[in-house]
Amino acid sequence: MKRKAWMALTTSALLLLGGSAAVYGAGVIHLRINGNTPVQISANAVDGHMMVPLTEIASALGKKVKYDAKTRTAFLDDQESVIAKKAGVLEITGTKQDGMYVNLKLKHNDIVRSPGWMNMANPSYAPQIVQADLNKDGEQETVIVLNEGYGTGVYLTKAHVMDSHLIETPLEDPLIAVGRQVHMSFTKDGARLDLNGKTVTVPSSRIVSEPSYRFEAPGVGAIIRYSIQDDQLKATLPVQVSLGEFIGDLELEYGYDNGIYQVKRMTFVEDALN
């Protein structure tokens, strides 16, 4: 027989919940949380207090309830959701908070890891799960690409490479690699990129932004995209000269060396539209 856990819903409790309730009829109230659309829950009046099922309050808050009868303790925990899955390979779950899925968990067979990552809650930006033999050892690695932010002129992703036991192999930060291998500046001739001993210049005639609207120097970081082609992990970082203009892409290719995936090759591809 199932039992409902009931809680006293007093004015002080409502403030703690950040919601409000109004009695609409015997046994029913509408609960409004943080100004959102009210939800209808059952209620009982007991000794001048409005009592509601804890399970229904938890559901309205996106929580799950467990009850320990021995200790008479109710537990409210974050509700986990499956946000990405590749059959037989990996399942990723997370708890929704302020437009993000946080405290992501990785599950493969009996292995569970909690690396503490996060991903945007928008389903269009769910994590990507791709398998490839990146280190050429004959076994498939699992690449997880997370989406950590997006907006006008912004798209930030982060890649993680895991082995079959969900142990992560370090991956060089593409921004650090660019800072180490590339120097960018504006000259009288245009946007200049010095890349590993080679110089590329995008002429001023092909840059739309007026000089007064340009940054102090061309830069990267607003957009980071990862891809895998023929067991090769790549990162693409568009080069930006103003808030609304990109002049091309820095394309980075990763290779495995001494237990880490490092940027082994970097090229600049000028935007054909410029």
Q: Report the chain's mean pLDDT, rounded to a whole number.
A: 86
What does the domain layout of the chain look like in residue ranges?
Answer: 6-77, 80-169, 174-270
3-state secondary structure the chain: CCCCCEEEECHHHHHHHCEEEEEEECCEEEEEECCCCCEEEECEEECCEEEEEHHHHHHHCCEEEEEECCCCEEEEEECEEEEEEECCCEEEEEEEECCEEEEEEEEECCEEECCCCCEECCHHHCCEEEEECCCCCCCCEEEEEEEEEEECCEEEEEEEEECCCCCEECECCHHHHHHHHEEEEEECCEEEEEECCEEEEEEHHHCCCCHHHEEEEEECCCEEEEEEECCEEEEEEEEEEECCEEEEEEEEEEEEECCEEEEEEEEEEECCCC
Query: Residue 257: pLDDT above 90?
Result: yes
pTM for the predicted model, two decimal places? 0.74
Q: 199, 186 in Cβ contact below 8 A?
A: no
Between 240 and 74, whose confidence is greater? 240
What mean pLDDT comes out for the span 179-193? Answer: 96
Between 40 and 215, whose confidence is greater? 215
Strand-pairing partners, residue 183, are 194
Q: Rounded to 10 degrees, what is the CA torsion of 47, 49, 50, 53?
A: -80
pLDDT at 111: 96
pLDDT at 21: 45
What mean pLDDT comes out for the span 13-41? Answer: 59
pLDDT at 9: 45
